[in-house]
Amino acid sequence: MDANLNAELLDSVLTAAGQPAAVARAEVRVWSMSGVERLTFPDGATAIFKYAKKPFDSEDQALRLAHTLGVPVPEVHASAVLDGWLGMLLEDLGTPSRDADDLDGAAAAVVLHHTRTAAALPVLDGEALRSLPGRALDHLDQLRKAERWQDADDIETALDRLAQAAEARSAGTTMAPFGWVHSEFHPTSLHIGQRGWRLLDFARAFTGPGLLDLASWHGTLDEPEPYRLRVFLEQYVTEGGTPDALAVRGGLAAEQWALGWHRMWAVEWFMEQAIRWINDPATDPAYIKVVRRHLTDSLRLLEV
3-state secondary structure of 54: coil
Contact 139, 268 (CB under 8 A): yes
Determine the Cα–Cα distance for residues 229 and 265; give it in Å rounded to an integer: 17
Q: According to CATH, what is the number of the domain 3-90?
A: 3.30.200.20
Would you call 160 helix, strand, or coil by DSSP? Answer: helix
Residue 195 pLDDT > 90: no
Q: What is the pTM of this model?
A: 0.95
DSSP class of residue 123?
Answer: B
Domain locations in the chain as residue ranges: 3-90, 102-301
- Give me the percent of the chain exceeding a pLDDT of 70: 100
Average pLDDT over residues 55-78: 96
CB 259 within 8 A of CB 229: yes
Query: 31 pLDDT band (50/70/90 cuts)?
Result: confident
Q: What is the pLDDT of residue 233?
A: 98
Q: What topology does CATH give the domain 102-301? A: Aminoglycoside 3'-phosphotransferase; Chain: A, domain 2 (3.90.1200)
Q: Where are the alpha helices (DSSP H) in 131-253?
A: 132-145, 153-169, 211-216, 226-238
pLDDT digits (tens, 9 = 90+) for 207-224: 999 999 999 999 998 999
Beta strand extents in the chain (DSSP E only): 24-31, 34-40, 46-53, 76-82, 85-90, 178-181, 190-193, 196-199, 206-209
pLDDT tens, 123-169? 999 999 999 999 999 999 999 999 999 999 999 999 999 999 999 99
Scored b (16 or more CB within 10 A) or e, 127-151 reads ebbbbbbebbbbbbebbeeeebbee
